[in-house]
């Protein structure tokens, strides 16, 4: 249950970790825009974008562990999203399962949605894996997201760090007291644990809010300001955005 957590925020090392968070967020948005507009059955474009993503991962090998953990958590949701698509589109029937029919168009549709989802989610995971949480919040604020949205997101992310040790403590206490319990007993104690966790989270939230208010928090989140953009930031953003736009809409493709 215990997760390995870094005791120190490490200085940036991989290429993407050096880039300004605003640049990375904007590039990710442009990337998503290109991906979702790839037409169905254009597998060449899908493969090209996939290769670019692999190249970026190779450039940032140090963040691969974090990337895989985050992407692994999102993968079941993508599978869930795509699993039923082959059955719900009219077209040439390939196979029947009772009342359900798998159509060729349905399969293409599922392939397109799956590829788009994988490429977009993977880009988001790469952004998350190569950007420190505080920089991510600063970057979102820097690109002009409403302050209320940034504030809620910042509080939510930080509160997760507060709750994680709380859950660990409850889990350990439960493990220490459920010696040899049958599965029914274990289920009951797990339910109790969740109930206690909810109540504790609520109490903790009130105390955390008091502690924030005591230090001047007035509902407006004030994080450290973003640094000035460097030539490297501008160059990287220019090359990346121009490259993927050309790849997506180039007239000679």
Mind giving me the DSSP string for 43-95?
A: HHHHHHHHHHHHHHHHHTGGGHHHHHHHHHHHHHHHHHHHHTGGGSS-S-EEE
Nearest in space to 56 (alpha carbons), one of 10, 124, 5, 102: 124
For residues 205 and 197, give the distance between their C-alpha atoms in angstroms, rounded to a whole number: 12
* From 1, 9, 80, 179, residue interacting with another protein (rule: CB under 8 A): 9
Binding mask 120-159 vs another protein (x if CB under 8 A, - otherwise)? ------------xxx-----------------------xx
- Interaction of residue 66 with another protein, rule CB under 8 A: no
CB of 51 to another protein, least distance (A): 33
* From 165, 185, 195, 238, residue interacting with another protein (rule: CB under 8 A): 165
CB of 133 to another protein, least distance (A): 5
The piece of 27-35, 71-79, 87-95, 214-222 that touches another protein (CB under 8 A) is 214-222
- Interaction of residue 93 with another protein, rule CB under 8 A: no
CA dihedral 145→147→152→158, nearest 10 degrees, is 90
For residues 60 and 121, give the distance between their C-alpha atoms in angstroms, rounded to a whole number: 17
- Interaction of residue 8 with another protein, rule CB under 8 A: yes
CB of 211 to another protein, least distance (A): 4
CB atoms within 10 A of CB 80: 9
CB of 206 to another protein, least distance (A): 9
- Interaction of residue 161 with another protein, rule CB under 8 A: yes
What's the DSSP call for residue 9? P
CB of 226 to another protein, least distance (A): 10
Task: Report the residue number, 10 or 90, with the smaller CB distance to another protein.
Answer: 10
Cα 247 vs. chain centroid, distance in angstroms? 25
- Interaction of residue 210 with another protein, rule CB under 8 A: yes
SS (H, E, C) 14-25: CHHHHCCHHHHH
Task: Report the residue number, 67 or 221, with the smaller CB distance to another protein.
Answer: 221
* Rg of the Cα atoms in the chain: 23
Residues 196/166, Cβ–Cβ less than 8 Å: no
For residues 167 and 173, give the distance between their C-alpha atoms in angstroms, rounded to a whole number: 10
* From 61, 69, 186, 207, residue interacting with another protein (rule: CB under 8 A): 207
Task: Report the residue number, 11 or 251, with the smaller CB distance to another protein.
Answer: 11
Nearest in space to 122 (alpha carbons), one of 71, 49, 69, 54: 71
Task: Report the residue number, 40 or 210, with the smaller CB distance to another protein.
Answer: 210
**Site residues for another protein per CB under 8 A:** 5-11, 132-134, 158-159, 161-162, 164-165, 204, 207-208, 210-218, 222-225
């Amino acid at each position: 249950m215990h997760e390995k957590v870094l005791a120190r925020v490490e200085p940036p090392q991989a290429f993407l970790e050096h880039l300004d968070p605003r640049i990375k967020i904007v590039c990710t948005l442009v990337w998503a825009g290109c991906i979702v507009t790839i037409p169905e059955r254009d597998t060449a474009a899908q493969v090209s974008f996939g290769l670019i993503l692999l190249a970026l991962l190779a450039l940032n090998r140090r963040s691969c562990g974090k990337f895989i953990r985050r992407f692994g958590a999102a993968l079941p949701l993508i599978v869930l999203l795509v699993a039923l698509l082959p059955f719900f589109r009219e077209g040439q029937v390939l196979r029947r399962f009772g009342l359900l029919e798998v159509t060729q168009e349905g399969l293409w549709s599922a392939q397109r949605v799956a590829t788009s989802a994988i490429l977009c989610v993977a880009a988001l995971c790469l952004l998350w894996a190569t950007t420190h949480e505080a920089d991510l919040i600063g970057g979102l604020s820097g690109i002009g997201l409403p302050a209320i949205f940034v504030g809620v997101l910042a509080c939510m992310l930080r509160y997760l760090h507060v709750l994680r040790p709380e859950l660990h403590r409850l889990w350990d206490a439960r493990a220490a007291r459920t010696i040899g319990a049958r599965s029914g007993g274990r289920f009951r104690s797990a339910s109790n644990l969740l109930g206690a966790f909810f109540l504790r989270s609520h109490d903790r939230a009130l105390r955390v809010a008091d502690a924030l208010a005591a230090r001047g928090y007035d509902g407006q989140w004030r994080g450290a300001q973003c640094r000035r953009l460097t030539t490297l930031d501008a160059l990287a953003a220019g090359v990346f955005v121009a490259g993927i736009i050309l790849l997506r809409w180039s007239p000679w493709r």
